[in-house]
Structure formats: structure tokens, C-alpha cells
Amino acid sequence: MKNLKLKSARAALDLSQQQLAEKVGVSRQTINAIEKGDYNPTIKLCIAICRALGKNLDDLFWESE
């Protein structure tokens, strides 16, 4: 499933996939794969992305019911 919440939060800060990747220490391809739903990141990476975007895990990675 695509992670549109992540993509939206990144875009709201006017960050490219490359810029976010550099902030959290992964490749741009990793960020792209997470956004496309092709890669399930570790909890450590999820937390790093949340910190970089000023969000929490619920905001970006948990499905609302």
C-alpha cells in the first residue's frame, strides 16, 4: 500500500526524496520504495523519518481504522 501520508508530509516541507534520504541516512531509492509501498522500513528508520518531518509514528505509518 502506498504511503501517501509520508509523501504528503515530505512535500509539505518542500523536501525532495533525496533531501529526506540524506537527513535520515538512506538512499533516495529507499524513500521512493517506502512511499510506493514496496519496502517496509525498520522501526528505527520510521522514527528517523518522523523526526526529520516533525511527525509521529501514528501520523505517517499507522493505518487509521
39-56 pLDDT tens trace:
999 999 999 999 999 999
The Cα 65–Cα 54 span in angstroms is 23
Q: Flag whether pLDDT at 64 surpasses 80.
A: no
**Over the stretch 7-30, which tens digit does the pLDDT of each residue have?**
999 999 999 999 999 999 999 999
Q: Give this prediction's pTM.
A: 0.90
Which domains does the chain show, CATH number per domain? 4-56 (1.10.260.40)
d(CA 16, CA 22): 10
| Contact partners, residue 45, CB within 8 Å, separation at least 6 | 24, 26, 30
